Amino acid sequence: MRFRVEPSPSGGYFVRAAGVDAPVSRHDTEEEAEAAAESYRRGVEGRREGELVTLADGREVLVRAVRSEDKPLFARGWERFGEESRYRRFMGAKRRLTTSELAFFTELDHVDHEAIGALDPESGAGLGVARYMRDADRPHAAEAAVSVIDAMQGRGLGRVLLTRLTYRAAQNGIRCFTASLLTSNHSMLRLFEKLGKVTVTGQYGAQTEIVVELPLSDSPTLELMLRSAATGHIARRP
C-alpha cells in the first residue's frame, strides 16, 4: 500500500493511501504528516504479529489488538463493506469515515477502549473488528460492536473476534456489554446470545437496546469459549 502527503484545503496536511478516496489522517505540519505516513508504511510492510486462527471453513486469519498505525487498514476496509453492512453498523447511511473517526477507532488505551481486529495473513488486509468502550458512569459496563467485511460474513469470524474481546473486557473488570442493534439484525443478536444472558432494555422503532452478562475473567465458561474459538468454533452455552 502506497502513501502520499498533500496539503489540506482547510490547512495542514493529509496522508492519503493509494486506492482510498478519504484521507487517512490530517496533521498540522508536513513533517508530522511524513512521519505518520512512514509509520503507516512500517505497519503495513512490517512483520505481521498476532494469533493465527483457523475458521470453520479452513481459512486462516491473523487476530491481534488494533494499533494506531492501522488507520489505512480501516480506511481501505471501509470500502469492502456494502451499504447494508454500513447501515447495520451505524444504523444509518454513511458514505465514508472521517480522519477524526479513524483516529478514534485506532488510538486506544486498551483498557477503557479496546478493539480486536482480524487480518488476512497473506495480504495484510483488514477483515473485521470487535470493540468495546467503557461506560464512564457505569465502569462495569461497556458498549460493544462487531464489524466484518461482506466477503467474510457467515464464516464465524465475528464469533472469534467477540470472544477475544470478551476476554479482554473481563480482564479489565467489565462484567456486561451493552449494544444498540437494528431489530432486524438477528445474526448479531444470536452472536451476543452465545456470550451470556441477553436482556432487552429498550426498543425504539427499528432499534433494540440490549445488555449481555459476561463470564468472569476466571470463569471456566470463558476459558472454554477461548479454547474453542482458537479453532474458529465456539461452544454453545447450555
pLDDT tens digits along 43-68: 776 556 788 888 888 899 999 999 99
Of 90, 80, 83, 89, give the one whose Cα is nearest residue 120: 80
pLDDT tens digits along 81-126: 777 776 666 655 566 788 999 999 999 999 999 999 999 988 888 8
Residues 218/224, Cβ–Cβ less than 8 Å: no
Q: Is the pLDDT of residue 234 over 70?
A: no
Cα–Cα distances (Å) from 40 to 30, 113, 124, 127, in that order, read 15, 21, 12, 18
pTM summary value? 0.79
Share of the chain above pLDDT 90, in %: 45
Q: Look at residue 144 in the predicted model and tell me its pLDDT.
A: 95
Cα–Cα distances (Å) from 163 to 72, 111, 117, 234, in that order, read 25, 16, 12, 8
- The three cell numbers of residue 220 are 471456566
